[in-house]
């Protein structure tokens, strides 16, 4: 069990909140969170629906491990059709609101329709109501958070909200929860704002139980916790440096996309690395990093809590930014820094604060700024259009761009469209570092070949979190493969994709998989959930989820033709580092990948594959 077996269905058009039972048959096939919510989406939303229209739905989904003591068991996902990619969007977040929803007695909230004026959803255990949000519409996530806590006089309320960027139509806006945790990618926040839903505030005090075998569950949980503690990455690297442990590593292997992926190594990498975040700064002798922080139930605690130097130009005379808040993760530091050529740690930290304060994805934002900087450098964009000199390396431009996207002012409106639409508009689609309209993150496929296939085939557009082959190709987890060859990568990518889809459906954090395999995860799920859950069954379930997502995308009109990469990665060889002279070998990998998946040469699942997976 471990599911609450209850779904909350919220119709914004009729202003109703209704309870319904969870489809337990589906739960056996799709477990929870990513898988199960995608099943609901596929059944209920026309793949051709306008992502920003009333026919799209927005699902907040927990997994069976969410709210339990399993390490990292606090995750939830936001599932919808993406306005950025037109694919299925599934953005995963930690923090505390996922478990609060579960504690309030809900596995999932399905939001449908569209409100005619701004509303927020207030959930207190079984009670759920839609309340007016006019007073907070047009304000930031941080302001909304403060307002709701005051309004309900409840310091323990957990809040997820969208910021001004989403209201202004930025296509990569996030849902931010607990001030600085994000369901970050693919514009799930944009969908929420398009429905006139400003926030979800939750208080749950019912307790999470319904555990099949509590004693066995606690044994499995404790064994697995120990595996995390004893592992060098989850026990030491991540708590000490966060994901930022990677900045120098990836730079050294020549796979750090720099200045809109023109280069693969960044001379300023060390200045913005996890190590640099520990260095005392000259002005006040304090380091950027204040502490690490855990999401709910997480015994890894990779989170960064940081401050910006009070004297830095970005926060001068702005005391509201002098306190500590969510600091740089690797992907954010890469996008805001490496990809734009900015090596100013304070500017990056400030820009990251703004991404959280007004709810937008730092990866897509940074990569779009990088594309704009390249257009500017080529004279395609002028200072008149950008509003400020927009050269690579300009911290001022980065900071202004963040503030503009936050509020939708000036050039911020165009930056909010994302790099694909921006580059197309200005006649240079080849300068957009995107797949299916979504910006790719901090690993260059020329230096880590598996990531090329990962980006090209990801069901939500370019993304590292769908099959993090970096683990194998760079870190040697579970075993070391050569990052420079294509050989064996199709099988590796498929295996990672399926396993990750399973983890994303459970309520656990994918970062556990630096130490855990499905063999560590299955006993925890099996002890908690009805049915027999083995590693093999989880893997098969992951494959089912993958194909389900794929079918939605195909039906939405996103065909196998879009399983490709920006020309730059396919044609322009890396100029320096270990990958010097290499381009992505995607064409060597893709046909084999299709074959392994049981898909046709056009990338469509064959009838036999669908039947095998019960689809």
Binding site for other proteins (CB under 8 A): 67-69, 71, 96, 99, 103, 156, 179, 204-209, 214, 218, 225, 229, 239, 290-299, 301, 303, 305-307, 323-325
Q: What is the CA radius of gyration of the chain?
A: 22
- Euclidean distance between CA atoms 301 and 303, whole angstroms: 6
**Residue whose CB is less far from other proteins, 206 or 388:** 206
Can residue 229 be called a binding residue for ligand SF4 (CB under 6 A)? Answer: no
Query: Where on the phi/psi map is residue 287: left (φ > 0), alpha (ψ -120 to 50), or beta?
Result: beta
Find residue 304's DSSP bridge partners.
292
Task: Give the nearer residue to other proteins in terms of CB position, either 296 or 599.
Answer: 296
Among 56, 62, 68, 72, binds ligand SF4 (CB under 6 A): 72
Does residue number 303 form part of the binding site for ligand SF4 (CB under 6 A)? yes
Binding of ligand SF4 by 54 (CB under 6 A): no
Element (H, E) at 471: helix 470-473
CA distance 525 to 528: 5
Across the strands, what pairs with 158? Answer: 202
Residue 462, interface with ligand SF4 (CB under 6 A)? no
> CB of 307: closest distance to other proteins in angstroms?
8
**d(C-alpha 599, C-alpha 189), whole Å:** 32
For position 497 contacting ligand SF4 by CB under 6 A, the verdict is no
Residue 366's CB is within 10 A of a number of other CB atoms, namely 32
DSSP conformation class of 378: T
Characterise 546 by phi-psi region: left (phi > 0), alpha (psi -120 to 50), beta (else). alpha
- Residue 300 engages ligand SF4 in binding (rule: CB under 6 A): yes
Residue 501's binding partner, choosing from other proteins, ligand SF4, none, with beta-carbon cut-off 5 to 8 A by kind? Answer: none
- Residue 509 interaction partner, one of other proteins, ligand SF4, none, beta carbon < 5-8 Å per kind: ligand SF4
Residue 511 binds which of ligand SF4, other proteins, none (CB < 5-8 A, kind-dependent): ligand SF4
- Tokens 């530091």, residue? 333
Whole-angstrom distance, CA of residue 162 vs CA of residue 118: 12
- Residue 260 gets the label, from left (phi > 0), alpha (psi -120 to 50) or beta, of left
Q: Both tokens of residue 15? A: 């202003």
Q: How far is the CB of 565 from other proteins (least distance, A)?
A: 38
Measured from the CB atom, the residue of 168 and 231 that comes closer to ligand SF4 is 231
Give me the least distance between CB of 469 and ligand SF4, in Å please: 19
Which option in ligand SF4, other proteins, none does residue 334 bind, with CB closer than 5 to 8 A by kind? none
Kindly state whether residue 301 participates in binding ligand SF4, applying the rule CB under 6 A: yes
> Which of 224, 300 has the CB closer to ligand SF4?
300
Q: Residue 509, interface with ligand SF4 (CB under 6 A)?
A: yes
Name the minimum Å distance from CB 183 to other proteins: 20
Residue 295 engages ligand SF4 in binding (rule: CB under 6 A): yes
Q: Are 453 and 490 in contact (CB under 8 A)?
A: yes
Q: Which does 103 bind (CB under 5 to 8 A by kind): other proteins, ligand SF4, none?
A: other proteins
Q: Could you give the CA distance from residue 419 to residue 394 in angstroms, rounded to a whole number?
A: 18
- Rounded distance between C-alpha atoms, residue 150 and residue 143, angstroms: 11
| Residue ranges that bind ligand SF4, judged by CB under 6 A | 72, 94, 294-295, 298, 300-303, 509, 511
């Amino acid at each position: 069990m471990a599911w609450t077996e209850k779904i909350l269905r919220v119709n914004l058009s009729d202003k109703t909140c209704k309870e319904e039972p969870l489809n337990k048959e589906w739960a056996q096939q799709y477990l929870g969170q990513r898988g199960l919510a995608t099943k609901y989406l596929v059944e209920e939303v026309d793949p051709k629906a306008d992502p920003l229209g009333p026919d799209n739905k927005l699902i907040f989904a927990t997994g069976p491990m969410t709210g339990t003591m399993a390490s990292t068991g606090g995750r939830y996902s936001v599932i919808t059709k993406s306005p950025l990619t037109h694919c299925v969007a599934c953005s995963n977040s930690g923090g505390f609101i996922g478990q609060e929803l579960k504690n309030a007695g809900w596995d999932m909230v399905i939001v449908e329709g569209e409100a005619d004026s701004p509303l927020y959803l207030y959930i207190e255990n079984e009670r759920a109501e839609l309340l007016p949000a006019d007073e907070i519409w047009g304000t930031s996530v941080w302001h909304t958070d403060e307002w709701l806590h005051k309004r309900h006089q409840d310091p323990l309320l957990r809040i997820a909200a969208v910021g001004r960027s989403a209201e202004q139509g930025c296509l990569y806006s996030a849902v931010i929860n607990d001030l600085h945790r994000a369901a970050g990618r693919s514009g799930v926040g944009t969908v929420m704002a398009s429905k006139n839903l400003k926030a979800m505030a939750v208080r749950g005090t019912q307790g999470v139980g319904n555990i099949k075998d509590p004693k066995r569950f606690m044994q499995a949980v404790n064994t697995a916790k120990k595996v995390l503690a004893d592992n060098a990455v989850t026990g030491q690297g991540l708590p000490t440096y966060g994901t930022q442990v990677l900045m120098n590593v990836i730079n050294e292997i020549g796979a750090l996309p720099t200045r809109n992926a023109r280069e693969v190594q960044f001379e300023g990498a060390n200045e913005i690395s996890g190590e640099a975040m520990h260095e005392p700064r000259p002005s006040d002798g304090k380091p950027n990093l204040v502490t690490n922080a855990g999401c709910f139930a997480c015994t890894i605690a990779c989170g960064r809590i940081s401050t910006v130097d009070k004297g830095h130009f970005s926060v001068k005379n702005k005391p509201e930014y002098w306190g500590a808040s969510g600091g740089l993760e690797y992907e954010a530091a890469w996008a805001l820094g490496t990809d734009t050529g900015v090596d100013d740690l304070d500017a990056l930290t400030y820009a990251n604060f703004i991404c959280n304060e007004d709810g937008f994805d730092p990866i897509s934002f940074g990569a779009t700024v990088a594309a704009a900087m390249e257009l500017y450098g080529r004279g395609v964009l002028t200072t008149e259009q950008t509003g400020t000199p927009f050269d690579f390396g300009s911290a001022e431009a980065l900071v202004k761009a963040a503030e503009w996207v936050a509020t939708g002012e000036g050039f911020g409106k165009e930056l909010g469209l994302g790099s694909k639409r921006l580059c197309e508009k200005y006649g240079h689609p080849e300068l957009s570092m995107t797949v299916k309209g979504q910006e790719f993150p901090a690993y260059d496929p020329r230096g880590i070949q598996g990531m090329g296939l990962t980006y090209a085939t990801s069901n939500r557009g370019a993304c590292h979190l769908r099959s993090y082959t970096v683990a194998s190709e760079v870190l040697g987890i579970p075993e070391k493969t050569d990052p420079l060859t294509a050989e064996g990568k199709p099988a590796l990518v498929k295996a990672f994709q399926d396993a990750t889809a399973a983890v994303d459906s459970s309520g656990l954090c994918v970062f556990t998989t630096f130490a855990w395999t499905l063999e560590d995860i299955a006993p925890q799920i099996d002890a908690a959930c009805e049915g027999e859950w083995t590693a093999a069954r989880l893997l098969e379930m992951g494959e089912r989820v993958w194909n389900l997502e794929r079918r939605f995308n195909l039906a939405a009109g996103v065909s196998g033709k879009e399983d490709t990469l920006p020309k730059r990665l396919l044609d322009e060889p890396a100029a320096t580092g270990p990958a010097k002279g290499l381009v992505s070998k995607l064409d060597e990998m893709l046909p084999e990948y299709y074959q392994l998946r049981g898909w046709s040469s056009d990338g469509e699942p064959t009838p036999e594959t669908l039947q095998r997976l019960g689809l």
